[in-house]
A and B are shown apart, each in its own frame.
Chain A
Amino acid sequence: MGRSARWTGLAFVAPFLILYVVILFYPLLMGMGISLHRADLFGARTFVGFDNYVRLFGDPIFHQALGNTLLLTLMIVPPLTAIALGLALALNRPTRSAAWLRGLFFSSSVLSVTIVTLIWRFILTPDAGLVAEILEAAGRPPIPFLSDPELTIPALAITTIWWSIGLPMMLFLAGLQQIPADIYEAAALDRAGPWTRFRRITLPSLRRTLILVVMLQTAAQLQLFGQAQLLTAGGPSGASRPVVLFIYEVAFVRWELGYASAAAEMLFLLVLAATLLQYWAVRPREEG
């Protein structure tokens, strides 16, 4: 290969690589730098070391936001995974009705967060929502889903599950298609019941898909933002404010960029830790 040919490959890769460095890698480093400064949106900066991080550890509003994010993740990921798996098992058949139902359960996933919250606002709101109308018809008072501090997080969780059920269901369906049918035939000869077949064949075969789903969903829900901002504005008094909304408010309402960046780095670590933990979980048995 000639000397000029050695660099041809680089020419193909360069356009992407340049953008990647400028718009992703450089901001990543810049963010770590800003988190060590007191900085406003207009560029005035003073180096403060780890002060922002220390402040985060003592900030009750950040603690509340972190707690909300973890609670939301816990209230969304396990039910979402279980429902998606159940749907995939039920709808993994070649009938026309199953195809229609798969389409229905996936349809909400293509909507944007704005439309999803617009729809759910007028399901949940006590003055004109669908739930309130149904309750009224049954002679019961409306439920203040979007203003009762006990109910805002469940309301966000339900909205999110409705919105995101399609993708994990599709992933499980794809996983089910990979299981060879003859394993089930052999199990049927051994007179294994449905529960045994599920526990001994289906679940172990879906192990990788299961971990993939939990991993993707955990990473997504730790970063939950739009639903909370649009449906409840994080309220009442922060009861439903997740970490990303905290970051958004500190940066663009309070204009404290350094402090917001420190919170963003903490969230980055959290997402990274969750991802690594799940990678580690998938490792051991796969070597065998």
Chain B
Amino acid sequence: MSAHRLSPVAWILVLLGAAIMAAPLLWTLLLSFKANGELMRDSAAAFSAPYTLENYRAILQGSSLLRWLANSLIVSLGTTAGMLVLASLAGYGFARIDFPFRRTLFVFVLLGLAVPEQAVILPRHQLFATLGLHNSYTGLILPGLVGPFGVFFMTQYFRAIPKELDEAALLDGASRLTIFWRVLLPLTWPAQATLGVFTFLGSWNDYWWPLISATRSERFTLTIGLASSQMNYAQTSGLGFLMAQAVFASIPILIVYIVFQKQIVRAMAGTAAR
């Protein structure tokens, strides 16, 4: 089908869709460059000059947004690093070493794939309250580490690496940990990148858990902070400022998307092929 030319009707539909995709983004961008007072009178002012960088300057001159941005970075990077370490160790263990109850435990982990967040989030909130983990980075990071997908993904990847590699190293007297660290881990870079990007995206955009766990403004992540200023819209400095916040907050994740586009597309291909 790919060899065929697209009919004009199909092209028009695709372009119409593209316009619907792009218009909200452009509208947001335009609003973010307008003075708040002017938009207060009529938001159609967004379509004409003068434009200003005032809203972005206000953000950089110490709004809470920078604090939330730092929190989001700490939580997302912490979650990503933790996930890569735990999933790689467990993946290697499940794929390569025979130990008692290995199959049973693997199935037990896979069962977690069927558990939606809703089934655990309220009791988890209770548990973390008991442990005094709310409003802490640890409390925000830990729930992101227990998704079984990472373990499943890394186990599959380790299984695909030829066994002769570790067997030769074992005969040379290397320990399991050395083999894991020196021989196999360097071969898993593509998998680390894919899992890393997805964990980062998921953690960066998480809403439900930080909403109930981080209740103090200084521990808000970007998603929660922006939600709070969105709900107190009347008290903020105005529409232009709000939209500049949205644009500013999207920049890190758009950079991740653009840099790691290849990994994202390849991972999709992998998912669809299974």
- Chain B residues within an 8 Å CB radius of A31: 119-120, 122-123
- Taking a contact as CB atoms under 8 Å apart, the answer to whether B239 and A16 are in contact is no
CA distance A87 to B21 in the complex (A): 12
CA distance A129 to B26 in the complex (A): 13
- Taking a contact as CB atoms under 8 Å apart, the answer to whether B1 and A92 are in contact is yes
CA distance A133 to B207 in the complex (A): 31
- Taking a contact as CB atoms under 8 Å apart, the answer to whether A122 and B272 are in contact is no
Q: A83-B17, A90-B6, A114-B223 are in contact. Are A264 and B93 (CB under 8 A)?
A: no
User: A26 at interface (Cβ–Cβ under 8 A)?
Assistant: yes
- Chain B residues within an 8 Å CB radius of A186: none
- Chain B residues within an 8 Å CB radius of A129: 43
- Taking a contact as CB atoms under 8 Å apart, the answer to whether B90 and A174 are in contact is no
Q: A15-B90, A212-B271 are in contact. Are A121 and B254 (CB under 8 A)?
A: no
- Taking a contact as CB atoms under 8 Å apart, the answer to whether A16 and B28 are in contact is no
CA distance A147 to B271 in the complex (A): 39
- Taking a contact as CB atoms under 8 Å apart, the answer to whether B20 and A162 are in contact is yes
Tell me if B's interface is mostly helix, strand, loop or mixed: helix
User: A46 at interface (Cβ–Cβ under 8 A)?
Assistant: no
Of the four ranges (under 10, 10 to 19, 20 to 34, 35 or more), the interface on chain B belongs to 35 or more
Q: A119-B25, A174-B273, A264-B119 are in contact. Are A8 and B99 (CB under 8 A)?
A: yes
Q: At the interface with chain B, which of A17-25, A52-60, A70-78, A149-157?
A: A17-25
Residue from A92, A104, A167 having most chain B Cβ neighbours under 10 A: A104
CA distance A230 to B230 in the complex (A): 8
Q: A174-B272, A260-B122 are in contact. Are A130 and B117 (CB under 8 A)?
A: no
Q: A171-B271, A267-B116 are in contact. Are A112 and B207 (CB under 8 A)?
A: yes
How many chain-A residues does the 8 Å CB contact rule pick out? 100
- Chain B residues within an 8 Å CB radius of A261: 122-123
- Chain B residues within an 8 Å CB radius of A128: 39, 43, 239
User: B242 at interface (Cβ–Cβ under 8 A)?
Assistant: yes
User: B269 at interface (Cβ–Cβ under 8 A)?
Assistant: yes
Tell me if A's interface is mostly helix, strand, loop or mixed: helix
Q: A9-B97, A184-B1 are in contact. Are A34 and B21 (CB under 8 A)?
A: no
Interface 1/0 per residue, B96-119 and A, CB below 8 Å? 111110100100010010111111
- Chain B interface residues toward A at CB < 8 A: 1-4, 6, 10-11, 13-14, 17-18, 20-25, 27-28, 31, 39, 43-44, 85-87, 89-90, 92-94, 96-100, 102, 105, 109, 112, 114-127, 129, 142-143, 145-146, 148, 151, 176, 180, 201, 204-205, 207-208, 212, 222-224, 226-227, 230-231, 239, 242-243, 246, 249-250, 253-254, 256-257, 261, 264-265, 268-273
- Chain A interface residues toward B at CB < 8 A: 1, 6-13, 15-17, 19-20, 23-28, 30-31, 34, 41, 43, 83, 86-87, 89-94, 101, 103-105, 107-108, 110-115, 117-123, 128-130, 133, 136-137, 162, 165, 167, 170-178, 181, 184, 194, 197-198, 202, 208-209, 212, 219, 223, 225-226, 230, 244, 247-248, 251-252, 257, 260-261, 264-265, 267-268, 271-272, 275
Given contacts A105-B21, A244-B208, 11 further A-B contacts (CB under 8 A): A7-B100, A31-B119, A31-B123, A41-B129, A87-B17, A89-B1, A110-B254, A111-B253, A112-B223, A202-B1, A264-B122
